[in-house]
Structure 1
Amino acid sequence: MIDYHLIGIGGAGMSVVAELLQARGYEVSGSDQADSATLTRLRNLGITVFAGHKAEQVPPQATVVISTAVKETNPELAYALKMGMPVIHRSEALALAASGLEFIAVAGAHGKTTTSGMLAAAFSALGADPSFAVGGIVSKFGTGARLGAGPFFIAEADESDGSFLNYAPRVALVTNVEPDHLDHYGSEAAFEAAFDKFVSKITAEGALVVCADDPGAQALGNRAVAAGRRVWAYGLENIVEGGENLKISQLELFENKAKFVVEYGVKQIPVELNVTGAHNVLNATGALAVGLELGLDVGTVAESLAAFSGTGRRFEFKGEISQRRLFDDYAHHPSEVQAALKQARIVAGSGKVVVLFQPHLYSRTLNFQAEFASALELADAVVLADIYGAREEPMGGVTSHLIAEHTEKVSFVGALEAAAKVAADLTHAGDICITMGAGSVTGAGELILKAWQNQFE
């Protein structure tokens, strides 16, 4: 008998939940709009999956698991509601999979996938054998989910729809509180209030970890201290008064690694990462703070962070042809774009940086058009694809041209396939090209590589 049926099982978050539920001994099935590599992988694990949504695919007596993106018009959800079947959110199913373990929830407008992956890799390397649920493939494991034998469960906590409020973590790590998802929250104040509520969900014996260099996270930490919460803070520049503070110093960034020292009281903790970028240094220090809170040996945690080699679609190397290198990045918020392009500058060296950017959501493009343009100024050449609407319907007058109007670096605005050709042509020997965005832009990488290959056959 099927215990859980997941609608949209091919999504990054849903597929993780499916794997974890199966690993805990439940029978799992699910469906997605179209077949994919993810569905193939789930089939190979013995999970029953369907391409396409049909009411008859919903098993009797199953609990149906959905995300916010699943509408009541979906034939499977409509059937489940009609029949009075139990329907729960993906986050509730994840909390069920984590029952009985020390829950570590990583939240923030950006950086949570990488930080969750760092925690999973580091804790595994030091022998803690954690369970984890990360919304991306952790390179070290080739998956975003695993049920380990250890006492810790590490989860990426999604704030986009407020579902992170379904967790009661032992440790909550907040990378930043930078307004996003205003289509859901309606205002910056409501977005920030959700993080205050998230902090209130931390268990009585638990603690909050924040990045003090982010003004929103620092303010969250300050409010938590005032409320009597235990707070850890980390940063290159700032601290949280009344918290346990980890200060980053002696930072050196190289093409494929980073070296720095974490100052904690009188301790000087050397750390070396096998990824670069100041944002990754911050993420790693947050992971180190979690280890300290959980009573792990700080030196061992620091050494174990070297086990992290990246996550899928986070500045992921995709190929090189004739001294032209291609990377793929999930960045879809101005701060993420800026961080990725700062990393690109280090990796490119004396070469140029060409970015093919596909904006994600009409509302986000409208709200942050100038900020996107400012972040994209870090590239040498910008190619803009049409907006990937995802869950949103088109908005009158809202196109990628809104971003283009704020910068002179844009070479093209339009269809993704044509944009890929332009990006390929703009990339020369010694340069790097990045496909960037949370939509279908990752598929443009194959077009770029093929174009480069054709040039030199």
Structure 2
Amino acid sequence: MAPAVPSAMERPHFIGIGGAGMSGIAKILAQRGAKVAGSDAKESATAESLRALGATVHIGHAAAHLADDASCVVVSSAIRADNPELVRAAELGVPVVHRSDALASLMTGLRSIAVAGTHGKTTTTSMLAVALTTLGLDPSYAIGGDLEGPGTNARHGEGDIFVAEADESDRSFHKYDPDVAIVLNAELDHHANYASMDEIYESFETFTGKIVPGGTLVVCADQPGAVELTRRVRGLPSLRVVTYGEHEDADVRVHRITPRGLTSEVTVLLDGRFLTFTVSVPGRHYALNAVAALAAGVALGIPAHNLASALGSYTGVKRRLQLKGEAAGVQVIDSYAHHPTEMTADLEAMRSAAGGSRLLVVFQPHLFSRTQELGKEMGDALALADASVVLDIYPAREDPIPGVTSELIIDAAKAAGARVTAVHEKADVPEVVAGMAEPGDLVLTMGAGDVTDLGPAVLARLAG
């Protein structure tokens, strides 16, 4: 039986219902019987999937879209104060609920795993969701991307486990009280909200402090930020800390990662025994994410050998090194990477998988603030490719910053010895790529914005 829907969430209205985080919560509420409504800027497959669950989805934002009997309005940190539906909610006295509070309410009464970190959250949460489903545990989950298998970012399950991606970008992950928390890494990002690594550590410490008494923190033993966080929280009462990684002192120690084309074979030492399993996506960082998922599941009481086998069922998340297709002997792959660490990890993974093939990148920077702070590092990462096309900055929720353009990245990439071409119009990219690509090449569209739309267009142009 589905958990009862809190009265405040019986008739929710979501502003920006098509977003990855917002749509997931809306889907679960609809599956639990709530009368869900909302609006989004444009039509999408997500909007259609919500309608199929019985939700009312308006395209565009207007005060009239908010029903008078709405029990609450759900917003993310990206919604501006002058949004007409938000203004109307104030006029009607309808309570406004942040997305994180809505998600926290869905976890109530269930055993929960919250997955946090600057990178890798979506992949690790997805791995857990797929593995637990494969084991017949029927979990609920809310993820920041669509699974390749079930093809959705969220689901209400009849089991007693809830797996959620915990977003640190606006500190909203402080709202959760998980039984098990994963911290994959901690790096400086989201520069509009965090001014220093000290602020990052303080935020992750607060998140860790919300783990229920007797609960478990699963944390990486290799990444410097995660190691520092571990040092800071080890003395917390009633907290069990489990480290994982390649460090010799890790509680779940990675003994070996063996690349096998677009998969990896991973051997870990756990409780004095070696355990080997397959990760069906390429790259060392994805193998380590799988080990984090394994450690978290074991902390929740799931037998390690069962979970390790089930992790092999995970085949990927859309936009996380997702193969979009092949044309004229050229494979086109899509990557969500937008932070230099993510970019480097995905480029190294693809370089390893490609063998002797050339790697061409179409990169779209995401956010002016991130480009201002990390533009040089992004350029350095692009030097791992044989050639790159760099688009203008995707602004998302930000206003332009004077003097901050893609040229910061392009200049850094050229200084690092990279071959880079600036393209200002997205519509020109397929022709540019077609002029560069040769049979056997890999083309990687990369970024958190709408660069993902270019994969099919590039394939169509290559097909001719």
TM-score between both structures, scaled by the size of structure 2: 0.95
Letter in 2 for 1:104: I
Shift of 1:443: 0.9
Structure 1 gap ranges (5+): none
Check the 8 A contact 2:429/2:458 in 1, yes or no.
no
> What is the rounded CA distance, in whole Å, between the counterparts of 2:137 and 2:352 in structure 1?
33
Letter in 1 for 2:235: A
Aligned to 1:83: 92
Aligned to 1:4: 12
Aligned match of 2:61 in 49, 53, 58?
A: 53
Secondary structure (helix, strand or coil) at the match of 1:132 reads strand
Aligned to 1:307: 313
Secondary structure (helix, strand or coil) at the match of 1:307 reads coil
- Deviation per CA, 1:387-424: give whole Å up to 9, x if none: 00111111111111101111222431132222343223
Aligned match of 1:168 in 137, 162, 177?
A: 177
Aligned to 2:389: 383
Paired residues for 1:212-223 under 5 Å? 212-223=221-232
Aligned match of 1:267 in 266, 273, 276?
A: 273
Letter in 1 for 2:219: V
Letter in 2 for 1:133: A
Number of paired residues?
Answer: 450
1:359 equivalent in alignment to 2:369: no
Aligned match of 2:146 in 111, 130, 137?
A: 137
- Deviation per CA, 1:300-319: give whole Å up to 9, x if none: 01101001000010000000
Shift of 1:226: 2.6
Paired residues for 1:27-426 under 5 Å? 27-62=35-70, 63-228=72-237, 229-237=239-247, 239=249, 245-408=251-414, 409-415=418-424, 416-426=426-436
Check the 8 A contact 2:267/2:277 in 1, yes or no.
yes
Letter in 2 for 1:453: A
Structure 2 gap ranges (5+): 1-8
Shift of 1:238: 5.6
Shift of 1:448: 0.8
Shift of 1:346: 2.1
Shift of 1:2: 6.3
Check the 8 A contact 1:130/1:149 in 2, yes or no.
yes
Question: What root-mean-square deviation, in Å, do the aligned CA atoms of Structure 1 and Structure 2 show?
Answer: 1.4
TM-score between both structures, scaled by the size of structure 1: 0.96
CA 1:78–1:175: 2 relative to 1, 3 Å: same
Secondary structure (helix, strand or coil) at the match of 1:185 reads coil
- Deviation per CA, 1:69-95: give whole Å up to 9, x if none: 011100000110122211000111111
Aligned to 2:4: none
Shift of 1:361: 0.4
Secondary structure (helix, strand or coil) at the match of 1:445 reads helix
> What is the rounded CA distance, in whole Å, between the counterparts of 1:90 and 1:17 in structure 2?
8
Letter in 1 for 2:11: D
CA 1:231–1:10: 2 relative to 1, 3 Å: same
Check the 8 A contact 1:106/1:112 in 2, yes or no.
yes
Shift of 1:187: 2.5
Shift of 1:205: 1.7
Letter in 2 for 1:131: S
> What is the rounded CA distance, in whole Å, between the counterparts of 1:41 and 1:428 in structure 2?
38
Aligned to 2:462: 452
Secondary structure (helix, strand or coil) at the match of 2:170 reads coil
Shift of 1:193: 0.9
Secondary structure (helix, strand or coil) at the match of 2:385 reads coil
Check the 8 A contact 1:172/1:199 in 2, yes or no.
yes
Shift of 1:445: 1.2
CA 1:434–1:56: 2 relative to 1, 3 Å: same
Secondary structure (helix, strand or coil) at the match of 1:418 reads helix
Shift of 1:349: 1.5
Secondary structure (helix, strand or coil) at the match of 1:398 reads coil
Identity among equivalent positions (%) equals 44
Check the 8 A contact 2:31/2:53 in 1, yes or no.
no
Q: Which moved more, 1:404-413 or 1:323-332?
A: 404-413
Secondary structure (helix, strand or coil) at the match of 1:69 reads coil
Secondary structure (helix, strand or coil) at the match of 1:261 reads strand
